[in-house]
Each structure stands twice: as structure tokens, then as C-alpha cells.
């Protein structure tokens, strides 16, 4: 019993350490214990801004959990309020479902957003649902047409490791094929009976 609870404690703490991180653009701040605090993981003061491109931008996250969901929202203005983030969450600028822990580059295109014009201050919010908790991070940016300060090399899509989804997909394809064969066989039998 004692061993069991120690094991579960270790499991919990390692899971807690591996939540996720916002790797780019730079986070306003990350604190494991405050990440559950909306809207910015406990960091309420606007930080340094980096340039974020209006077209072909991206958000780089590192997800430590399987079966998690990442939403990226954007709130415009110099210091968006909690209400601004709530409104922004109605129309995420990117969303991703993560099956296995990995680094993921989420592309963001703001050209369809009327508020996104050259030289607009905004805050990008990452809402990470790990299946148990909702974890928040923010990044303060200035949206620009030509973002020379934006580092394109930070976009990394790590190949999923562990059980490969392709095996399941292949098995599913085979079973679909055999189901189709069965249907054909039934139809042929019916045709012969006539
Ligand atoms: C954008 O924010 C910076 C501080 O981060 C500020 O100096 C600048 O005036 C703001 N721009 C606008 C258009 O308000």
C-alpha cells in the first residue's frame, strides 16, 4: 500500500513536470503551480513584445501529455482584459489535438482577421487541455507585415514516438476492405439466387 502510494506520487509529480511548454513566441512567464490560472498562467503584466507576422506565423508548443488539446487565441490591444480573452476563445486562430507527447508547430494565418493590421499590439494565448486541467500561457506580440524579428527556424514538428498510429490506420483500412469484400460477396450471392 505504501509502495503503491509512493509510486502514484512519483507518477503524478513526473506528469506534473511534463505538462507542456510554449516554446515560441516566448512566453510571458511560466510557473508550474500557476499555469491553471486564467487567462495567462498567473502572469498578468504585459511583457516584452516580439514581432509576429500577419501571414505564415506559428506557435511552437511542446506537449508532455498524450490526448491533449491545444487552442491558440489572440486578443488585440496593449493589455487585453480577462473578458477580451474570453471573447477571443470563441474564435481560436489555431487548434490541435495531440495524440502522443511531442513538439508541435501550429501555423497561424491572421489575414482573415479584420483587427490584424500592420503594427497592431496583441497577446497570443495558449489554452492547453491535458484532459484533467486547463493550462494557460501568453505571449505578447506586435503584429507586422514584415516580421524580421520572427525566427522561422523555431517551427519544429516532432514525429510522434511510441505506438505508431499508422499500424492502427492500416488495420482499419484492411477491415474496411474485408467489410467491402463481404458486402460484394453477399450481393453476388443475392444475384445468383435470382
Ligand atoms: C504597443 O506596445 C508598446 C509597449 O509594449 C508600446 O510602446 C506601443 O506604444 C504600443 N503601440 C500602440 C500602437 O499602442
**Residue of 49, 50, 78, 79 with the most ligand 1 atoms within 8 Å of its CB, for mutation:** 78
Which residues sit opposite 64 in a β-bridge?
A: none
Q: Using most ligand atoms within 8 A of CB, pick from 121, 123, 140 the residue to mutate for ligand 1.
A: 121
Contact 111/56 with Cβ under 8 angstroms?
no
Domain boundaries, the chain: 19-162, 164-194
Residue 19, pLDDT score = 86
DSSP H helices, 22-164, are: 82-88
pLDDT computed for residue 112 by the predictor: 87
CB 137 within 8 Å of CB 27: yes
CA-closest candidate to residue 128, choices 56, 194, 38, 42 = 38
In the predicted model, is pLDDT for residue 49 greater than 60?
yes
Checking if the pLDDT of 15 tops 50, the result is: no
Angle, alpha carbons 137-127-52 (nearest 5°): 60
Give the total residue count for the chain: 194
Provide the mean pLDDT of the chain. 83
**CA-based torsion, 99, 125, 38, 85: positive or negative:** negative
Is residue 49 in contact with ligand 1, taking CB distance under 6 Å? yes
Task: Look at the domain 19-162 and name its fold.
Answer: Immunoglobulin-like (2.60.40)
Percentage of the chain beyond pLDDT 90 is 67
Amino acid at each position: 500500500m505504501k509502495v503503491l502510494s509512493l509510486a502514484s506520487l512519483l507518477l503524478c509529480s513526473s506528469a506534473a513536470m511534463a505538462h507542456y511548454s510554449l516554446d515560441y513566441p516566448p512566453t510571458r512567464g511560466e510557473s508550474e503551480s500557476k499555469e491553471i490560472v486564467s487567462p495567462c498562467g498567473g502572469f498578468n503584466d504585459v511583457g516584452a513584445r516580439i514581432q509576429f507576422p500577419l501571414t505564415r506565423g506559428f506557435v511552437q508548443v511542446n506537449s508532455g501529455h498524450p490526448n491533449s488539446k491545444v487552442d491558440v487565441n489572440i486578443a488585440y490591444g496593449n493589455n487585453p482584459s480577462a473578458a477580451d480573452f474570453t471573447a477571443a476563445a470563441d474564435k481560436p486562430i489555431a487548434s490541435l489535438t495531440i495524440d502522443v507527447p511531442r513538439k508541435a508547430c501550429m501555423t497561424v494565418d491572421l489575414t482573415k482577421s479584420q483587427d490584424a493590421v500592420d503594427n497592431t499590439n496583441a497577446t497570443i494565448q495558449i489554452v492547453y487541455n491535458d484532459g484533467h486541467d486547463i493550462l494557460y500561457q501568453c505571449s505578447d506580440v506586435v503584429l507586422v507585415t514584415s516580421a524580421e524579428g520572427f525566427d522561422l527556424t523555431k517551427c519544429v514538428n516532432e514525429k510522434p514516438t511510441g505506438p505508431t498510429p499508422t499500424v492502427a490506420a492500416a488495420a482499419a483500412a484492411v477491415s474496411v476492405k474485408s467489410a467491402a469484400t463481404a458486402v460484394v460477396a453477399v450481393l453476388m450471392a443475392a444475384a445468383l439466387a435470382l
